[in-house]
Structure 1
Amino acid sequence: MNILFLCTGNSCRSILAEATFNALAPAGLRAMSAGSRPAGHVHPRSLALLQRKGLMQEGLCSKSQDALPLAPDVVITVCAAAAGEACPVYPGPVVRAHWGVEDPAGATGSDDEIDAAFESAYRLLRVRIEALLALPLEEMVHDRAAFGAALARIGEQGR
């Protein structure tokens, strides 16, 4: 199963989700990330956070949703609707869910405050990814409506 984490710039939230998912997921599950308007680089604070957490950074890059190597089975948008951010759309017959997460790239303040925004985004994504991985995925892939509903409930966690 291929899961796409999709956001606008693909430099922070979706990158953190991709790396976290791939570190936690069993064989047969893979995450990718992309953006509707990719920044063209991974935010240095995202890379620093992943390094602190001991998560792989190799192969992570900011890319367009049109440049994916595989077709996704599941698309999870991670843009924060509360911030007025327009979520990208992914066409095709996939299971979709929205997990709004504030964009840490927009954080201001001291270095510690900005790092805290990245840490907060990471923690929220990790809790949701762990909940996704706890689902009976082998059963859910056969019921797209139930799978989508379960992913939507997960997206409400931590709000």
Structure 2
Amino acid sequence: MPDQDAKPFNILFLCTGNSARSILAEAIMNEIGGGLFHAYSAGSFPKGDVHPMALDLLKKSGHPVAGLRSKSWDEFAGPDAPPLDFIFTVCDNAANEVCPVWPGKPMTAHWGLPDPAAVEGDEVAQRLAFAETYRMLTNRIRAFTSLPLKALDELTLQNRLREIGRDQSKAS
């Protein structure tokens, strides 16, 4: 973990539309990270709006939602972007897309999750899908923030990041 005086680690959560999963992850990390991590989110083809059920769930869970918006990953690939330490893709499409070259060579991992916005059915089924995505992201983010980042070498850390995304016990 960084020292209290150290700058926070910057994390970018990527998804195709940046309307649900990556937005949820940004809000969750900014709360759980306790100032040691600063999260952002973006999409390769942003929808332009945050999904209303994502915003509703975040509000009901006590997360601030001011400032959350659907935006392009281009905002984080330029010279004025915050330096990124970690990038996590949270949907299958973003993991298979050609990503920009990120300045500073941040560590990356794929933490793919089903898209709650794609669930068809009644409102209850859709809200359950969002709640499950929220729960799985919370578990993965808690696993990540509990890693002894300063004590792990780069290869070990990279492997642990990938394990978090693959390990369904962390998502269950």
Give the structure-2-normalised TM-score.
0.84
Cα distance per residue 1:25-81 (max 9 Å; x no partner):
12231111000000111000000000111111111110011113413111100013x
Q: Aligned residue pairs: how many?
A: 153
Identity rate, percent: 43
- Residue 2 of structure 1: CA displacement? 0.4
Aligned Cα RMSD in Å? 1.4
Query: Are residues 1:113 and 2:121 paired?
Result: no
Q: Which runs of 4+ in 1 moved over 6 A?
A: none
Query: Are residues 1:64 and 2:60 paired?
Result: no
Q: Which moved more, 1:66-75 or 1:46-55?
A: 66-75
Cα distance per residue 1:66-114 (max 9 Å; x no partner):
113413111100013xxxx353424231101000100111011010000
Report the counterpart of residue 149 of structure 1 in structure 2: 159
Which ranges of structure 1 fall in alignment gaps of 5 or more residues?
Answer: none
Aligned partners of 2:114, 2:91: CA distance in 1, in Å? 7
Does structure 2 conserve the Cα–Cα contact (< 8 Å) formed by 1:6 and 1:78? yes
User: Secondary structure of the equivalent of 1:47?
Assistant: helix
Report the counterpart of residue 21 of structure 1 in structure 2: 29
Does structure 2 conserve the Cα–Cα contact (< 8 Å) formed by 1:75 and 1:90? no
Give the structure-1-normalised TM-score.
0.90
Cα distance per residue 1:125-159 (max 9 Å; x no partner):
0000000011002223xx32221111111112336
Structure with higher Rg: it is 2
Report the counterpart of residue 41 of structure 1 in structure 2: 49
Letter in structure 2 aligned against 1:36: S
Does structure 1 conserve the Cα–Cα contact (< 8 Å) formed by 2:30 and 2:39? yes
Query: Are residues 1:130 and 2:142 paired?
Result: yes
